[in-house]
Chain A
Amino acid sequence: MDSPGYIVLSRLSAQMRASQLTANNLANADTPGYRASRPIFAEHVERQGRVHGPLGSANVGYTWDRASWRETQPGAINQTGNPLDVAISGPGFFVVETPRGERYTRAGRFALGADGQLLDQTGAPVLNTDSRPIALSANDTRIEIRGDGTIRSENGVLGRLRIVRFADEQALLAEGDRHISAGGQAPEEVARPQVVQGAVEGSNVQSVLEMTRMMSELREFQFATQFLEREGERQQSAVERLLRRRS
């Protein structure tokens, strides 16, 4: 008897998570390499109890909050003038070595460590095509990063940035700190990467879109609660009517 209530409840909790994702997208609108995430809702069909009749009419559909989906279109590339900032203009991720193992990132805002190693923002060494950290010496002052990821200075070639891609980008797991873990997939090397020196890729969040999404999520949430309220009134009046009939 109470399926409308539960159906709306499933909708409300799904809507709640949708608004959390939108809030996180907006909060990270300035995070380099951030990818906007969206919820995937699906219909979960259940058979109603004690309903006889044609097969289709006996089903009710709940909202099923199924997964998050990451938008993969690239973010805007902003010039920064810092020679160690690198943006990937094509597909792929930089590889960094963290205490938890290899992690992947699109945020190519690198800096030099005290011992000359190329590090990312969290201090994790950036790896070259041999999966080893890239080290620069104090004599390397004019650093040039070519389109294919080769790092050169006036003293010659210092290495090449390793850039990898994954068969299923949706299965990657964001870990925070701009790091992404492979989620069990094996990385594939990108043979011909396209990198841009002196620039950083921003997030791919479009704030205006995100803002309108937030408003429509709010309205849908209010719509669903209104439905719940009306349903409550309907049930109450049904109960009142039944009681009146009996007395």
Chain B
Amino acid sequence: MRSLAIAATGMLAQQTNVEVISNNLANMATTGYKRRRAEFQDLIYQNLRRVGSQSSDTGSLLPSGAQVGLGVRTAAIYRISEQGNLQQTENRFDLAIRGNGYFQIQMPSGEIAYTRDGTFALSPEGVLVTAEGFVVQPGITIPAAARDVTINASGEVMARLDAQVAPQNVGQIQTAIFANEGGLEAIGDNLFLATPGSGQPQAAAPGQPGHGTVMQGFVETSNVNTVQEITSLITAQRAYEMNSRVISASDEMLSTLTRLR
């Protein structure tokens, strides 16, 4: 009874769908989170009769074959990298990227990770670090004597030191872009790693061609649209139920067969 197995693949696919949606809803308030979407594709087909084969007695070509598809499978779980909303925080080290690009973070392991989460702060040594204390690359040290720090759209960090009138450039924030953002691997904590699928990172100052600009005093919220997620959740649940009805219908067909005397 193929329809039992086919409907089971449908139920599995919808279950994945619900899992992805619930993860989006759970991360509704996560800074820099990008919503994900499950995508499906049809499984292989069995050809009961091939197109173009000859129908026996007359020798005429069959106009169409008889195929049975064997269900559905999850093709991919996409990340939709649409810009999230910008939220003003008044914290002078909070940064948001408008447009393309990721901040580069030095992990304790030495690897470079990438993030859109710009909730930065200063370490005891005055180095710009993430909420977890990882250093933002390239390292920027704010002098202890700095009274006022401004970070402009192209990522230049300007500090006004005591006893000086003109602000002094103390560093340059760089953002990295990728040929295929979808190929980045999420490792949790709002961090991503480059993979062969994403291509090599291309780091440059914000505002350079292809790179977005930086906004000081803002963070990027998630791009989860609650109304949309709830609607997809309801649709996924109904689709799940329909597939389970197919299972019970196929089961009834089998049971009428077994009741035959």
Residues in chain A within 8 A of chain B (CB atoms):
16-17, 19-24, 26-32, 34, 37, 39-40, 65-70, 80-82, 107, 109, 111-116, 121-122, 136, 138-139, 141, 168, 170-178, 183-184, 207, 210-211, 214-215, 217-218, 221-222, 225-226, 228-229, 232
| Contact call A218/B249, Cβ cutoff below 8 A | yes
Task: Tell me the complex Cα distance, A117–B166, Å.
Answer: 48
Q: A22-B246, A37-B69, A112-B180 are in contact. Are A175 and B64 (CB under 8 A)?
A: no
* Chain B residue nearest to A30 in the complex (CB): B40
Contact A67 B63 (CB under 8 A): yes
Report whether B41 and A27 are in contact in the complex, using a CB–CB cutoff of 8 Å: no
Cβ of A114 to closest chain B Cβ, rounded Å: 4
Q: Would B69 and A28 count as touching, CB distance under 8 A?
A: yes
Pair B199/A114 contact, Cβ less than 8 Å: yes
Q: Does B6 contact A (CB under 8 A)?
A: yes
Does the CB pair A228–B64 fall under 8 Å? no
Question: What is the CB-to-nearest-CB distance from B207 to chain A, in angstroms, rounded to a whole number?
Answer: 12
Interface positions, chain B 134-148, Cβ under 8 Å from A, are none
Contacting residues, chain B, for A81 (C-beta < 8 A): 80, 82
Q: Do A171 and B63 touch across chains, with their CB atoms under 8 A apart?
A: yes
Give the interface segment out of B84-92, B107-115, B151-159, B236-244.
B236-244
CA distance A138 to B50 in the complex (A): 44
Check A65–B66 contact: CB distance below 8 A. Answer: yes
Say how far B183's CB is from chain A's closest CB, in angstroms: 6
Contact with A along B32-73 (1 / 0, CB 8 A): 000000011111110111111000000000111111111110
- Asked if residues A174 and B63 are in contact (CB atoms below 8 Å), the reply is no
Closest partner residue, chain B, to A18 (CB atom):
B3
Q: How far is the CB of B208 from chain A (nearest CB, A)?
A: 10
B3→A68 contact, CB < 8 A? no
Report B's interface with A, CB cutoff 8 A. 1-4, 6-7, 9-10, 13-14, 17, 39-45, 47-52, 62-72, 75-76, 78, 80, 82, 100, 177, 179-180, 182-183, 196-199, 202, 209-210, 238-239, 242-243, 245-246, 249-250, 252-253, 256-257, 259-261
Main secondary structure of the interface of B (DSSP, over half): mixed
* Complex Cα gap A9–B211 (Å): 67
Is there contact, CB below 8 Å, between A168 and B179?
A: no
Please, how many angstroms separate the alpha-carbon atoms of A139 and B182 in the complex? 17
B69 touches A19 (CB 8 A): no
Which chain B residues lie closer than 8 Å to A19 at the CB level? 3, 249-250, 253
Are A116 and B48 in contact, CB atoms less than 8 angstroms apart?
no
Q: What is the bound-complex CA distance between A124 and B47, given in angstroms?
A: 24
* With A174-B42, A178-B42 as contacts: A27 and B179 at CB distance below 8 Å: no
State how many angstroms separate the Cβ of A37 from the closest Cβ of chain B: 7
CB < 8 Å: which of B13, B62, B198, B259 contacts A114? Answer: B198
Question: Known contacts A67-B64, A68-B66, A139-B210; can you find 5 more A-B pairs with CB under 8 A?
Answer: A19-B3, A20-B6, A27-B243, A114-B198, A122-B75
CB-CB under 8 A for A67 and B49, given A27-B9, A115-B199: yes
Q: 17 A-B contacts, Cβ less than 8 Å apart?
A: A19-B249, A20-B2, A20-B3, A22-B3, A23-B2, A23-B6, A24-B68, A27-B246, A30-B40, A31-B40, A32-B39, A67-B63, A67-B65, A111-B180, A114-B179, A122-B75, A174-B67
Q: Is the CB of A30 within 8 A of B180?
A: no
9 smallest CB-CB distances across A and B, nearest first, come from A27-B10, A23-B3, A24-B69, A23-B6, A176-B44, A114-B199, A170-B64, A112-B180, A27-B72
Bound CA–CA A53/B78 (angstroms):
69
